[in-house]
Amino acid sequence: MMKFKGSGVALVTPFHADQSIDFDGLQKLVELQIQGGTDFLVVQGTTGESPTLSSEEKNKVLETVIEVNNGKLPIVYGIGGNHTNALEAAFKHLPKGIDGILSVSPYYNKPIQKGIVAHFKAVASFTDLPIILYNVPGRTGSNMSVETTLELSEVANIVAVKEASGNMEQIMDIIRLRPSGFAVLSGDDNLTMPLIAAGADGVISVVANAFPERFSQMVHASMAGDLRLAKEAHYDLFSITKMFFEEGNPGGVKVALAMRGLMTETMRMPLYPISDHLRSRIQTESQRLLGSL
């Protein structure tokens, strides 16, 4: 499903200082993405602090994004978990305006590969929407093997994988062996340019929240084969990307978003504000990047 290609962004959830959701900030964030060259939006991924939002809050965030987006960009919604049968209920009352689902491999339970396959085949039976698999061993405690991803790629409505294993050989094997029409998306911002050069189809990014203009330029140049421009933008963003993940996500990117006047830095516990030293470094680098836009 090649509507999910190019520069995707895993939207943060803006909060007021009292930790209530800042829907005005969310509107500004979506508008920035539309204007900044982002190709598709992901709502309620981990970057959106989804574990700390109630079902009612998740629905309201999704409805707000759909309304503000107004059909301009494809919208992917995060639905995943480690209780397979309980996920069916989450698919029953989804609003119109969703183009696909991002579903993380089951976490904490640490299933074997056959269990991961069975889980995702069940999830695919719960909906007709296209599904993007999400492999992120650093969060789930288990890796989806190449063989597992390829087996699942044969399921009709499983159309892509967001690969955040950090294993370049594994990801290139998936690219090499995948069926036609199955998209491979980077789940690591700093690996996006080399992965697209190796044949990947895009990214679901954290950095693009704060710098969609420069990040989408890098992605689109990579996809067009303009490696001079792609490498220039890649290394321009390289330092800030490392900083954003230095003390956990989305603490770093929210500092840059606050600098753009879009929201506060507030996160919900158990996430914790980044250190003053890191904040200062992010602010300095953000000023440099914003000055070049």
Give CA–CA dist 88/98, Å, rounded: 17
Length of the chain equals 293
Q: 135-157 burial, b if ≥16 CB within 10 A, otherwise e?
A: bbeeebebbbbbebbbbbbebee
Q: What is the pLDDT of residue 293?
A: 81
The residues annotated with a catalytic role in the active site are: 134, 162
The pLDDT averaged over each successive group of 10 residues in the chain (293 residues) is 88 98 98 98 96 96 98 97 95 94 96 98 97 96 97 98 97 98 97 98 98 98 97 98 97 98 98 98 97 87
Instruction: Please report, rounded to a whole number, the percentage of residues in the chain having pLDDT higher than 90.
Output: 98
80: left (phi over 0), alpha (psi -120 to 50) or beta: beta
pLDDT tens for residues 251-265? 999 999 999 999 999
Amino acid 2: pLDDT = 67
Domains along the sequence of the chain with CATH:
6-292 (3.20.20.70)
The token pair at 46 is 């981990």
The whole model's pTM is what? 0.96
Which of 103, 110, 154 has its CA nearest to residue 133? Answer: 103
CA distance 187 to 208: 12
Distance CA(284)–CA(83), nearest Å, equals 43
Could you report the per-residue pLDDT of 29-88, keeping only the tens digit for each? 999 999 999 999 999 999 999 999 999 999 999 999 999 999 999 999 999 999 999 999
pLDDT of residue 87: 95
Separation in Å, CA 154 to CA 47, 141, 178, 179: 29, 25, 9, 8
The candidate with the shortest Cα–Cα distance to 103, out of 130, 143, 128, is 130
